[in-house]
Protein backbone atom coordinates (compact mmCIF):
# COMPACT_ATOMS: atom_id res chain seq x y z
CA UNK A 1 0.00 0.00 0.00
CA UNK A 2 1.45 3.42 -0.79
CA UNK A 3 2.19 5.34 2.35
CA UNK A 4 0.24 8.46 3.17
CA UNK A 5 1.92 11.80 3.32
CA UNK A 6 3.14 12.84 6.71
CA UNK A 7 0.19 14.89 7.91
CA UNK A 8 2.16 16.29 10.80
CA UNK A 9 4.81 17.86 8.63
CA UNK A 10 2.78 20.73 7.28
CA UNK A 11 0.50 21.34 10.21
CA UNK A 12 -2.42 23.52 9.33
CA UNK A 13 -3.56 25.61 12.29
CA UNK A 14 -7.07 24.72 13.52
CA UNK A 15 -9.88 26.58 11.84
CA UNK A 16 -11.55 29.28 13.85
CA UNK A 17 -15.05 29.07 12.41
CA UNK A 18 -17.47 29.95 15.18
CA UNK A 19 -20.14 27.44 16.17
CA UNK A 20 -23.37 28.75 14.76
CA UNK A 21 -26.64 28.41 16.59
CA UNK A 22 -29.49 28.18 14.13
CA UNK A 23 -32.93 29.23 15.15
CA UNK A 24 -34.81 27.49 12.32
CA UNK A 25 -36.58 24.20 12.78
CA UNK A 26 -35.47 22.80 9.43
CA UNK A 27 -32.68 20.27 10.09
CA UNK A 28 -29.32 20.84 8.47
CA UNK A 29 -29.11 18.62 5.36
CA UNK A 30 -25.33 18.51 5.64
CA UNK A 31 -25.68 16.41 8.79
CA UNK A 32 -27.80 13.93 6.87
CA UNK A 33 -25.26 13.62 4.09
CA UNK A 34 -22.48 13.26 6.62
CA UNK A 35 -24.22 10.37 8.35
CA UNK A 36 -25.00 8.70 5.02
CA UNK A 37 -21.34 9.00 3.97
CA UNK A 38 -20.28 7.68 7.35
CA UNK A 39 -22.38 4.53 7.13
CA UNK A 40 -22.06 3.81 3.42
CA UNK A 41 -18.41 4.65 2.74
CA UNK A 42 -16.43 5.46 5.85
CA UNK A 43 -17.37 2.57 8.14
CA UNK A 44 -16.86 -0.31 5.68
CA UNK A 45 -13.57 1.13 4.42
CA UNK A 46 -12.28 1.64 7.94
CA UNK A 47 -13.35 -1.87 8.89
CA UNK A 48 -11.54 -3.42 5.92
CA UNK A 49 -8.43 -1.34 6.51
CA UNK A 50 -8.30 -2.27 10.18
CA UNK A 51 -8.79 -5.94 9.35
CA UNK A 52 -5.87 -5.73 6.90
CA UNK A 53 -3.72 -4.03 9.51
CA UNK A 54 -4.56 -6.74 12.03
CA UNK A 55 -3.35 -9.36 9.52
CA UNK A 56 -0.18 -7.42 8.91
CA UNK A 57 0.55 -6.86 12.58
CA UNK A 58 1.09 -10.58 13.15
CA UNK A 59 4.62 -10.51 11.69
CA UNK A 60 6.12 -7.07 11.64
CA UNK A 61 9.41 -6.28 10.00
CA UNK A 62 11.30 -3.07 9.51
CA UNK A 63 13.39 -1.30 6.96
CA UNK A 64 16.13 1.20 7.57
CA UNK A 65 17.80 4.08 5.83
CA UNK A 66 21.32 3.13 4.88
CA UNK A 67 24.11 5.20 6.37
CA UNK A 68 27.23 5.44 4.22
CA UNK A 69 30.69 6.08 5.58
CA UNK A 70 32.46 9.18 4.30
CA UNK A 71 35.41 8.43 2.03
CA UNK A 72 38.14 10.83 0.86
CA UNK A 73 36.89 13.42 -1.58
CA UNK A 74 38.02 13.73 -5.19
CA UNK A 75 40.25 16.66 -4.21
CA UNK A 76 42.03 14.43 -1.69
CA UNK A 77 42.80 11.64 -4.17
CA UNK A 78 46.25 11.20 -5.62
CA UNK A 79 46.66 11.27 -9.35
CA UNK A 80 46.32 7.84 -10.93
CA UNK A 81 44.60 6.35 -7.86
CA UNK A 82 41.62 4.99 -9.75
CA UNK A 83 40.10 3.25 -6.75
CA UNK A 84 40.01 6.54 -4.86
CA UNK A 85 38.41 8.15 -7.93
CA UNK A 86 35.74 5.45 -8.00
CA UNK A 87 34.82 5.82 -4.34
CA UNK A 88 34.82 9.61 -4.52
CA UNK A 89 32.60 9.45 -7.60
CA UNK A 90 30.10 7.16 -5.85
CA UNK A 91 30.04 9.47 -2.85
CA UNK A 92 29.53 12.53 -5.07
CA UNK A 93 26.55 10.90 -6.77
CA UNK A 94 24.99 10.04 -3.42
CA UNK A 95 25.50 13.61 -2.25
CA UNK A 96 23.92 14.94 -5.43
CA UNK A 97 20.84 12.76 -4.89
CA UNK A 98 20.60 14.03 -1.30
CA UNK A 99 20.83 17.61 -2.54
CA UNK A 100 18.09 17.00 -5.09
CA UNK A 101 15.84 15.67 -2.34
CA UNK A 102 16.63 18.70 -0.18
CA UNK A 103 15.58 21.07 -2.97
CA UNK A 104 12.42 19.02 -3.47
CA UNK A 105 11.55 19.26 0.24
CA UNK A 106 12.01 23.05 0.27
CA UNK A 107 9.81 23.28 -2.82
CA UNK A 108 7.11 21.19 -1.13
CA UNK A 109 7.29 23.45 1.91
CA UNK A 110 6.60 26.47 -0.26
CA UNK A 111 3.73 24.67 -1.94
CA UNK A 112 2.23 23.71 1.41
CA UNK A 113 2.59 27.27 2.64
CA UNK A 114 0.79 28.63 -0.44
CA UNK A 115 -1.98 26.08 0.00
CA UNK A 116 -2.35 26.97 3.66
CA UNK A 117 -2.35 30.71 3.28
CA UNK A 118 -4.45 30.95 0.18
CA UNK A 119 -4.81 34.62 -0.76
CA UNK A 120 -2.31 35.75 1.89
CA UNK A 121 0.51 33.77 0.34
CA UNK A 122 2.45 36.69 -1.05
CA UNK A 123 2.89 38.22 2.39
CA UNK A 124 3.07 35.19 4.65
CA UNK A 125 5.22 32.86 2.57
CA UNK A 126 8.07 35.29 1.98
CA UNK A 127 10.44 33.29 4.19
CA UNK A 128 9.82 30.03 2.33
CA UNK A 129 10.18 31.80 -1.00
CA UNK A 130 13.49 33.31 0.08
CA UNK A 131 14.70 29.93 1.29
CA UNK A 132 13.74 28.23 -1.97
CA UNK A 133 15.47 30.95 -3.99
CA UNK A 134 18.66 30.54 -1.97
CA UNK A 135 18.62 26.75 -2.11
CA UNK A 136 18.00 26.59 -5.84
CA UNK A 137 20.70 29.15 -6.47
CA UNK A 138 23.13 27.10 -4.42
CA UNK A 139 22.16 23.92 -6.25
CA UNK A 140 22.54 25.64 -9.59
CA UNK A 141 25.97 26.97 -8.60
CA UNK A 142 27.19 23.58 -7.60
CA UNK A 143 25.52 21.09 -9.94
CA UNK A 144 24.07 23.46 -12.47
CA UNK A 145 25.32 23.22 -16.04
CA UNK A 146 27.31 20.03 -15.76
CA UNK A 147 24.99 18.25 -18.17
CA UNK A 148 24.00 14.59 -18.27
CA UNK A 149 27.62 13.42 -18.30
CA UNK A 150 28.48 15.45 -15.25
CA UNK A 151 30.62 13.60 -12.73
CA UNK A 152 32.68 14.47 -9.68
CA UNK A 153 35.61 15.62 -11.83
CA UNK A 154 33.57 18.14 -13.87
CA UNK A 155 31.96 19.38 -10.67
CA UNK A 156 35.39 19.91 -9.12
CA UNK A 157 36.52 21.81 -12.21
CA UNK A 158 33.41 23.97 -12.00
CA UNK A 159 34.21 24.71 -8.36
CA UNK A 160 37.76 25.62 -9.33
CA UNK A 161 36.48 28.06 -11.96
CA UNK A 162 34.04 29.55 -9.46
CA UNK A 163 36.87 30.15 -7.00
CA UNK A 164 39.01 31.72 -9.70
CA UNK A 165 36.16 34.05 -10.64
CA UNK A 166 35.70 34.97 -7.00
CA UNK A 167 39.38 35.71 -6.63
CA UNK A 168 39.34 37.83 -9.78
CA UNK A 169 36.27 39.71 -8.57
CA UNK A 170 37.94 40.31 -5.22
CA UNK A 171 41.08 41.56 -6.91
CA UNK A 172 39.04 43.89 -9.11
CA UNK A 173 37.03 45.14 -6.16
CA UNK A 174 40.09 45.87 -4.05
CA UNK A 175 41.69 47.90 -6.84
- Interface residues with another protein (CB under 8 A)? 1, 3, 52-53, 55-56, 59-67, 80, 82-83, 86-87, 90
Minimum CB distance to another protein smaller for 31 or for 83 = 83
Compare residues 87 and 108 and give the one whose CB is closer to another protein.
87
Element (H, E) at 103: helix 82-117
Residue 81 exposure: Cα atoms within 13 Å on the Cβ side: 13
- Give the span between the Cα atoms of 145 and 96, in whole angstroms: 14
At closest approach, how far in Å is the CB of 152 from another protein? 15
Tell me whether residue 41 or residue 90 sits nearer to another protein (CB atom). Answer: 90
**CA quadruple 125, 126, 127, 132: dihedral sign:** positive
Kindly state the smallest distance separating residue 77's Cβ from another protein, in Å. Answer: 13
**C-beta of 83: minimal distance to another protein in Å?**
6
Exposed (0-12), middle (13-18) or buried (19+): which is 125, by Cβ within 10 Å?
buried
Q: Which residues of 80-106 are buried (b: 16+ CB within 10 A; e: fewer)?
A: eeeebbebbeebbeebbeeeeeebeeb
Q: How far is the CB of 171 from another protein (least distance, A)?
A: 40
Q: Which is nearer to another protein, 49 or 167 (CB)?
A: 49
Q: Is the CB of 46 or the CB of 159 nearer to another protein?
A: 46
Q: How far is the CB of 20 from another protein (least distance, A)?
A: 42
Amino acid sequence: MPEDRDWEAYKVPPTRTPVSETTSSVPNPVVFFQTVFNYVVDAPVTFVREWIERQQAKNKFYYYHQKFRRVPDLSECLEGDYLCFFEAEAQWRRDRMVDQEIVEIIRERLGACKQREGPNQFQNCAKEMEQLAQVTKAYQDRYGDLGVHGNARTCLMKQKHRMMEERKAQANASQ
